[in-house]
Amino acid sequence: MATHSERVWHGGGQVVVTGDEEPRGLWSWLTTVDHKRIGQMYMGAGLFFFLLAGIEAFLMRLQLAQPDAHVVSAALFNQLFTMHGVTMVFLAGMPLLIGFINLVVPIQIGARDVAFPRLNALSLWLFIGGGLMLYTSWFFGGAPDAGWFNYVPISAGEFSPGPGVDFYDIGLQISGIGTLMTGINFLTTIINLRAPGMSWLRLPMFVWATFVTSLLIVFAFPPLTVNLFLQTFDRLFGAHFFTVSAGGSPLLWANLFWVFGHPEVYILIMPAFGIISEVVPVMSRRPLFGYTTMVLSVMAIGFLSFMVWVHHMFDLGYGPWVNSIFALSSMLIAVPTGVKIFNWLTTMWGGQVRMNTAMHWVFGFLITFVVGGMSGVMLALAPADLQFNNSYFVVAHFHYVLIGGTLFAIFAGMYYWFPKYTGRFLNERLGKWQFWLVFIGFNVTFFPMHFLGLMGMPRRIYTYAPHLGLTLWNSISTDGVYILTAGMIIGAINVLWSYGHGELAAADPWDGRTLEWAIPSPPPAYNFEYIPLVRGLDAFWVEKRYGNGRMLPAPEEHHGPPGTIHMPSPTAMPLFLALSIIVAGYGLILHSLVLDIIGFGFVAVGIYRSMFTVDHGYFVRPHHIEGVRADG
Amino acid sequence: MEEPETYTGALERALHISGSEIGGECRVASERARRIRRFLPWAVLLPAALSGCGLIDAPQSMLNPAGPVAQDQLGLIDSSIWVMTLVFVVVAGALLVILLRFRWRGQTELPPQWEGSTRLELLWTIVPFILLALLAVGTVRDSFVLAAPEGKNVLKVNVVGHQYWWSFSYPGTNIVTANELHIPVGQKVELVLTSADVIHAFWIPRLGGKTALVPGRTNIMWIEADQPGTYKGQCAEFCGTGHADMRLLVVAEPPAKFAQWEQQMEHPVVQPTSALAQQGEKYFASEQCSSCHTIGGTSFVGVVGPNLTNLAQRQMIAGNLLPNDAQDLAAWLKDPQAVKPGSLMPNLHLSPDKIKALVAFLQSLKTPAPSGSV
Amino acid sequence: MAEMHPPIGTHPVEMEMPAAPDNSVLGVWIWLSAESLFFASLIATFLLLHNQNNGGPSLGKLIDLPLTFVATVTLLSSSLTMALGYAQVLKQNYGGFRFWLVVTAILGLAFAGMQAFEFHHLYAEGFRLNSAPSGSAFFTLTGFHGLHVLFGAFWLISLLFFSFKREFVEEAAVKVKVLGLYWHFVDVVWVIIFTVVYLMGKVA
């Protein structure tokens, strides 16, 4: 396979591969630079880590179902909640969203791939590598156990001597660098690769959400990178950034972390907003209400997300002035968020809403996200937050936002886009079962956590006293987990079954509005046989309503000669580079000079090869140039 | 709280409410509700909580304030809950109407293709802004009110967090105690907080919100108890293996009784009467207990572990994890980590006889109240 | 709430799409803006911790300002030579380009050498990465900058080798432009570090 492809594709850009069959086999996936395959691998790996984090959550709820229980030990419990948080945020939530971004954004802007396809593959492998590396910590003396925000000094060498926190620092560093590259890649893609006519105010909302998310990534991840470096130096080389006795500052970690951490939670919700903004208009058969306002509110939320980080630290003693200012800025975020919710409602109000499974998830999203948003405003009230902070009320809040918000939107997106990328529908009957079980199970699990917080239960405790009155709600919460789990299993069955046996989907099954519905399901590797000309917001809808139902081709200077499509070559270099970086990371954690030299040496070679290997790509000549189908 | 009658009644009521809310189409909803009832009896209990069942009488409930700080904070929580409920009802109501009225029923004609309305969008920009502005007033006011205690009659207490226990000292006196904070009722108490190791947080929900104890830094918070009582809390910033077991007691007493406690702590008397207790005092020195613990009124002045002055007068031991009785004291001395995982108190592998003697000694650590006092 | 869908086809395509910069150039700009945040965080860390000497020597007394000034001039002049090299590429004078590339790399390596000398001196005085928070912050900030200079030198030399290859010509302008952007950025960061760490440190 490899030799064959080299001979054909690296011939100075002259050889034409006739035919549009896609290469198969494991190697073709490991070396792919196709944004759709990369997106699917993001989704697959994200779901895998989601499963791991779910198991961790399950164990924690078993432990907390009764007071003074001994399902897991205190030490293991601390590892479980740390890994659960880290996994859900970095290895499940973001990858699932980045998966959608990869799958959808290039097509929605009328492009054949992202700006830097090889970098995109590198991002993927760094994420997967960093994530797996983090999980190998269980085999090297225990996982990180200082919480997902890993405050110092509890995470300092003095109090966490094992390698767990080193895995946190270096595993997250590696996967974080991958994320940063994704941000750079998609900003460049959206700025540069829009099809002719796709002006800024014709971008689909999901693309806008991706744009702002990428900006947040580019500006929020560097402080995390620095923070992780500082701690790595403290722990591995004896530096004193956080050593209190030497004059170091624990609050430096807290501030740098939340300067990253708050935008991070918006990185987790912004693409979810984008998904909802795609599904709602299509399923209501009308344009998104107040498109321009929606764009402005996404930007406002992104901007404000950098102004609110102290609200995670109201109890750290910054005084009434600082607390008041950050309380006000935090409350302000509710305004643009509220605008979005009411605009979604108005889009449906007076429309013709199809209550299929995707739309069930949208309704679930709106209900639970509003609850999470409301408790978020309550947390922003600094004096009240002194009570809420670090209690189960906070746990309830962010699960309402991250499950009820992000995850429900991810499921909405899955039911909405699955037919596009696999050519088959997810089963609607199973889907509705999944929805109701998850929706009910979720609320039974997490709503009582509000009460537990009000009743004075702090988060991150492995057990609680029987006389505190916390038993009833804790046991109810654990009962909810069984329902939730049942729903998730049905969802998993649905995905696995439908992948091979689902009902066949046409190109445009929902009467869609954006460009991905103008190409076949599943899309060919090159997405578009010709670059489309965009003549309005909701490009495809406009052509269906006012044109002849097909996208017009853009003038020829915007793409190659008709019928011949230039594609980037597959390459193993991203995988090689990622592996080298992982080896170097292990070298640091295990204090192995040999691994360091091998790892960093290969990194240097890899970087040189990546920078100075000219990829001439290859050409595809589709068998059937049949134009873009409007109705599948 | 867990009475079956209330529970069943709430179940029935809740079933109807949640059935019509979540289903949309009533026929479908009632079908689903039946299924829910069969499989998931807990699912419908949620609204029952609104009755307050168990929420207010929990010992650590912030909804049952016992002092002005917690009272202020609850006021803010209450007003925000009303505003938030209002918003939720509007959104949920809109969703319900959409479900009932704006479903696609096979029409081929498109619905009106509205693209936006400046007037409407201004409406839902400005109205939330006003609601938030109302909440902002209280937020800023309370932030300043709660920042530091006003007035002269303020009792100051230095609090130091340790893995996994609390140290309290009263400036201007020689009183040092651990885990059980004594305060007078009706007087503002300023807590000066710092930590000896990692970040902890001091939290007694019924007396006020939490403030972190950060190593290398001093934070201030204040509390005040309106009525005498024992108020519970626990460490609220993750601090390691023993975090869950790092619990707190605040004993609020009428001023006269507090003065008496101060007197006893200032002038502790150690008089082990029984032979066993006297033996225990010797073990306390010979078995290295005294290298970590101080006991007022003796020559034991260790500073690593909690101060044990008048230990027998405390309600709890082991960071307020266990009741202060002979049995639990013995278990604690025998194997601290078995009782409290992560505890830094070493397991000295004491023989049962020595444990017995030490328990007798520790139980003798109480200073008799002066005659004629309350 | 009226229907206001714009009739299609009213916007000429040309007006919608101003000429975009090359992907690599744009990507490097975005990458460098992330780098700005990276150095901003490090500088903030330094400002927070630069007086925490843990009983050891303070940086202000140890700074050798003349040496650092020479290093600064060296690095700044390498920006100039980089620009001259880019000018030669635009003229398609690849010999001239290679000359300036080599000069730039030498200047960069000279800067790194002076920094290494300075680090050695500071270490001898007991001001170290692991001596105090101020040392940790100083060496991390200037060390990361030094690594950027070294990476730039690696890039310069790699490009020199690459410039003898057949493919170089077709991509020369872009390849050199992105390297130039990076190199100028590293210089600008140094100007800030020189001001904040050295000048302000000496004054204080």
- Start-to-end CA distance of chain A, whole Å, equals 33
Q: What is the pLDDT of residue B55?
A: 86
CA distance B191 to B170: 10
Bridge partners of residue B188, in order along the sequence: B154
Write down which chains contact chain B via at least 3 CB pairs under 8 A.
Answer: A, C
Q: What distance in Å separates residue C138's CA from the closest CA in chain B? A: 22
Q: How far is CA B181 from CA A26, A273, B64, B265, in A?
A: 65, 48, 20, 12
The rounded distance, in Å, linking the Cα atoms of A348 and A351 is 5
For residue B11, pLDDT beyond 70: no
Interface residue of A81, A240, A331 to substitute, partner B, most B CBs within 10 Å: A331
CB < 8 Å to B115, chain C: 1-5
Per-residue model confidence as pLDDT tens digits over A200-243: 999 999 999 999 999 999 999 999 999 999 999 999 999 999 99
Among all residues of chain A, which has the CA nearest to that of B341? A74
Residue-by-residue DSSP string for B119-168? HHHHHHHHHHHHHHHHHHHHHHHHHHHTTS--SS-EEEEEEEEETTEEEE
Mean pLDDT score of chain A: 91
| Mutation to test the B interface, candidates A386, A393, A429, most B Cβ within 10 Å | A386
Instruction: Inform me whether the pLDDT recorded for A429 exceeds 70.
Output: yes
Whether the Cβ atoms of residue B205 and residue A387 lie closer than 8 Å to each other: yes
Across A409-415, average pLDDT: 97
B253 and B120 in a common domain: yes
Sign of the Cα torsion B163, B166, B169, B170 reads: positive
pLDDT at A594: 94
Residue B373's pLDDT is 52
Kind and range of the H or E run holding A167: helix A164-192
- Taking only the tens place, the pLDDT of each residue in A142-157 is 999 999 999 999 999 9
**Final residue of a structural domain among B16, B35, B54:** B54
Domain that holds residue B216: 60-100+116-266
Does A386 sit within 8 Å of B216, measured CB to CB? no
Q: CA A324 to CA B147: how far, in whole Å?
A: 11
Dump pLDDT digits (tens) for A534-582. Answer: 999 999 999 999 888 899 988 877 766 666 788 888 999 999 999 999 9
> Would you state the pLDDT for residue A25?
87
Looking at the structure, tell me whether residues B218 and B326 fall in a common domain: no
Which DSSP letter does residue A426 get? P
The answer, for A257 touching chain B at a CB cutoff of 8 Å, is no
Count the domains in chain C.
Answer: 1
pLDDT score recorded for residue A621: 73
Q: Residue B311 gets which letter from DSSP? A: G
Instruction: Give the separation between CA A14 and CA B86, rounded to whole angstroms.
Output: 67
CB atoms within 10 A of CB A117: 26
Per-residue model confidence (pLDDT) at position B26: 37
HSE on the CB side for A372, CA within 13 Å?
Answer: 27
Helical segments of A2-116, H only: 2-9, 26-30, 35-64, 74-86, 94-108
pLDDT band at C121 (very low <50, low <70, confident <90, very high): very high
Structure tokens at B122: 């201004």
At residue A530, does pLDDT exceed 80?
Answer: yes
User: What residues in chain C have their Cβ under 8 A from chain B's Cβ atoms?
Assistant: 1-5
Chains interfacing with C (3 or more CB pairs < 8 Å) = A, B
Which has the higher per-residue pLDDT, B342 or A630? B342
ipTM summary value: 0.92
Span of A455-464, B24-33, B199-208, B364-373 with lowest mean pLDDT: B24-33
**pLDDT grade, residue B20 (50/70/90)?**
very low
pLDDT at B270: 87
pLDDT (tens digit, 9 = 90+) per residue, A312-345? 999 998 999 999 999 999 999 999 999 999 999 9
Contact A536 C140 (CB under 8 A): no
CB within 8 Å of C171: residues ≥ 6 apart: A614
Nearest alpha-carbon partner for A40 in A489, A357, A512, A420 = A420
Contact A344, A276 (CB under 8 A): yes
The residues near C21 (Cβ < 8 Å, ≥ 6 apart) are A192, C29
- Take residue B228 and report the two structure tokens written for it: 């005498």
Q: What is the pLDDT of residues C39-55, one digit of tens each?
A: 999 999 999 999 999 99
Clarify whether residues B126 and B77 are in a common domain.
yes
**3-state SS, residue A305:** coil
Question: Does pLDDT of B374 surpass 60?
Answer: no
pLDDT range class, residue A616, cuts 50, 70, 90: confident
Count A/B contacts: CB-CB distance under 8 Å: 325
Whole-number Å distance between alpha carbons of A398 and A375? 9
Q: What is the pLDDT of residue A563?
A: 66
| First-last CA distance in chain C | 64
Chains that touch A (3 or more CB pairs under 8 A): B, C
Q: Does A535 touch chain C (CB under 8 A)?
A: yes
Looking at residue B88, its amino acid is F
Predicted pLDDT of residue C41: 97
The count of domains in chain B is 3
Instruction: Give the CB-side neighbour count of residue A610, counting CA atoms within 13 A.
Output: 21
Q: Is residue B324 part of a domain?
A: yes
Contact criterion met (CB below 8 Å) for A204 and A413: no
3-state secondary structure of B351: coil
Q: Is B79 exposed, middle or buried (0-12, 13-18, 19+ CB in 10 A)?
A: middle
Q: Report CA torsion sign: A192, A198, A204, A205.
A: positive
- Residues B289-298 pLDDT 10s: 999 999 988 8
Residues B41, B93, single domain; the answer is: no
Q: What is the DSSP letter of A458?
A: B
CATH number of C73's domain:
1.20.120.80
For residues B214 and B121, state if they share a domain: yes
Q: Which of C7, C11, C132 sits opposite A197 (nearest CB)?
A: C11
pLDDT band at A262 (very low <50, low <70, confident <90, very high): very high
Please write the tens of the pLDDT for every residue from B189-226: 999 999 999 999 999 999 999 999 999 999 999 999 99
pLDDT of residue B190: 96
Examine the pLDDT at A141 and tell me if it is beyond 90.
no
- What's the rounded Cα separation, in Å, for the pair A368 and A401? 7
pLDDT tops 90 at residue A421: yes
Q: What angle do CA C147, C151, C154 make, to 5 degrees?
A: 140
Contact A95, A87 (CB under 8 A): no
- Per-residue DSSP letter, A197: T
Residues B295 and B346 in one domain: yes
B116 and chain C in contact, CB less than 8 A: yes
Instruction: Tell me, letter by letter, the H, E, C secondary structure of chain C.
Output: CCCCCCCCCCCCHHHHCCCCCCHHHHHHHHHHHHHHHHHHHHHHHHHHHCCCCCCCCCHHHHCCHHHHHHHHHHHHHHHHHHHHHHHHHHCCCHHHHHHHHHHHHHHHHHHHHHHHHHHHHHHHCCCCCCCCHHHHHHHHHHHHHHHHHHHHHHHHHHHHHHCCCCCHHHHHHHHHHHHHHHHHHHHHHHHHHHHHHHHHHHHC
User: Do B170 and B74 lie in a common domain?
Assistant: yes
- Whether chain A has a CB inside 8 Å of the CB on C41: the answer is yes
Tell me what pLDDT residue A560 has. Answer: 64
Is the CB of C196 inside 8 Å of chain A's CB atoms? Answer: no
A2: pLDDT confidence band, cut at 50, 70 and 90? very low
**Residue C171 lies inside a defined structural domain of this protein:** yes
What is residue B56's predicted lDDT score, i.e. its pLDDT? 86
Q: For residue B171, give the 3-state DSSP assignment.
A: coil
Q: Residue B201 phi/psi, 5° resolution?
A: -140, 135
Total Cβ atoms within 10 A of residue B287: 19
**Residue A604 at interface with chain B, using a CB cutoff of 8 Å:** no
Q: Which of A391-400, B42-51, B109-118, B201-210 has the lowest mean pLDDT?
A: B42-51
B205, A327: Cβ pair inside 8 Å? no
Task: Write down the residue that tokens 């005084």 correspond to.
Answer: A319
Cα–Cα distance for residue pair C22/A469, rounded to 1 Å:
64
What average pLDDT does this structure show over A92-114?
Answer: 96
Tokens of A205: 């909302």
Using the 3D structure, point to which of B216, B249, B266 is the last residue of a domain. B266
**Within a domain: C125:** yes
Contact B265, B172 (CB under 8 A): no
Residue C42 lies in a domain: no
Per cent of chain B over pLDDT 90 is 69
Q: Is B8 exposed, middle or buried (0-12, 13-18, 19+ CB in 10 A)?
A: exposed
The answer to whether C130 contacts A238, with C-beta atoms less than 8 Å apart, is: yes
Question: Which residues of chain B lie closer than 8 angstroms to A343, CB-CB?
Answer: 121
**Mean pLDDT over all residues of chain B?**
85
Burial degree of C84 (CB within 10 A; 0-12, 13-18, 19+):
middle
Residues in B 310-349 with any Cβ partner in A closer than 8 A? 341-342
Say yes or no for a CB contact (<8 Å) between B244 and A463: yes
B52 has a pLDDT exceeding 80? no
Q: What is the pLDDT confidence band of residue A13, given thresholds at 50, 70 and 90?
A: very low
Quick one: tokens of C92?
A: 């398609």
pLDDT of B284 over the 80 cut: yes
Residue A429 touches chain B, beta carbons under 8 Å: no
Instruction: Report how far Cα C157 is from the mean position of its chain's Cα atoms.
Output: 16
Residue C106 lies in a domain: yes
Q: Is A293 in the C-facing interface, judged by CB distances under 8 Å?
A: no
Q: A206: closest CA among A268, A269, A273?
A: A273
A23: how many CB neighbours lie within 10 A of its CB? 15
Query: Among residues B261, B265, B304, B251, which one has the least CA distance to residue B173?
Result: B265
Mean pLDDT over A65-85 rounds to 95
* Sequence-ordered list of residues with C-beta below 8 angstroms from that of C117, at least 6 positions apart, any chain: C67
Judged against a pLDDT cut of 60, whether residue B10 lies above it is answered with: no
Domain boundary among B266, B288, B313: B266
Give the pLDDT confidence score for residue A559 in this predicted structure: 67
The pLDDT of residue A595: 94
CB–CB of A462/A513 below 8 Å?
no
Do B233 and B85 share a domain, yes or no?
Answer: yes
Q: Same domain, yes or no, for B136 and B255?
A: yes
A261 touches chain C (CB under 8 A): no
How long a stretch of residues is chain A?
632
In chain A, which residue's Cα lies nearest the Cα of C151?
A604
Please check the confidence at residue B28 and state whether its pLDDT lies above 90. Answer: no
The packing angle between helices B118-145 and B68-101, to 10°, is 160
Reading the block at residue A5, the tokens are 């492809």
Q: In chain A, positions 114-153, which contact chain B (CB-CB < 8 Å)?
A: 146-147, 151, 153
Neighbour-count burial of A20, counting CB atoms closer than 10 A to its CB (0-12 exposed, 13-18 middle, 19+ buried): middle
Whether C17 is covered by a domain: the verdict is no
Among A239-248, A418-427, B308-317, C17-26, the range scoring the smallest mean pLDDT is: C17-26
Measured CA to CA, the distance from residue A558 to residue A110 in angstroms comes to 11
Given phi > 0 = left and psi -120 to 50 = alpha, else beta, which region is A73?
beta
CATH of residue B326: 2.60.40.420
| Rounded (to 5) percent helix, strand, coil in chain B | 45, 20, 40
- Rounded CA gap, A437 and A432, in Å? 8
Ranges of H-type helices in A389-529: 392-399, 408-422, 428-454, 471-501
- To test the contact with chain C by mutation, choose from A612, A613, A615, A616 the residue with the greatest count of C C-beta atoms within 10 A, namely A612
Say yes or no to pLDDT of A3 above 60. Answer: no
The answer to the question of residue B109 being in a domain is: no
- C173 pLDDT tier (thresholds 50, 70, 90): confident
Q: What number of other Cβ atoms are within 10 A of residue A51's Cβ?
A: 14
CB contact under 8 A, A462 and B244: yes
Query: How many C-beta atoms surround the C-beta of residue A49 within 10 A?
Result: 25
Residue C32 covered by a domain: no
- Residue A21's pLDDT band (boundaries 50, 70, 90)? low
Whether the per-residue pLDDT at C143 is higher than 80: the answer is yes
Can you read off the two tokens belonging to residue A558? 């915007």
Query: Which pLDDT does position C8 carry in this prediction?
Result: 53
Bridge pairing between strands B219-223 and B229-234? unpaired
Band (B114; pLDDT cuts 50, 70, 90): confident
Q: Flag if A256 and C45 touch (Cβ within 8 Å).
A: yes
The tens digit of pLDDT for each residue in C51-64 reads 999 999 988 888 88
Q: What percent of chain B shows pLDDT beyond 70? A: 85
Which residue range(s) make up the domain with C89?
A: 61-203
User: In this complex, do A614 and C33 lie within 8 Å of one another by their Cβ atoms?
Assistant: no
- C178 in a structural domain: yes
Q: Are strands A552-553 and A532-533 parallel, antiparallel or unpaired?
A: antiparallel
C3: chain B residues, CB-CB within 8 Å: 112-115
Mean pLDDT of A289-313: 95
Residue tagged 């699912």 (tokens):
B43
Where is average pLDDT lowest: A13-27, B151-165, B248-262? A13-27
Q: Which two three-digit tokens encode residue A78?
A: 């601390």
pLDDT at A566: 81
Alpha-carbon gap, residue B96 to C78, rounded angstroms:
68
B50 and B64 together in one domain: no
pLDDT band at B47 (very low <50, low <70, confident <90, very high): very low
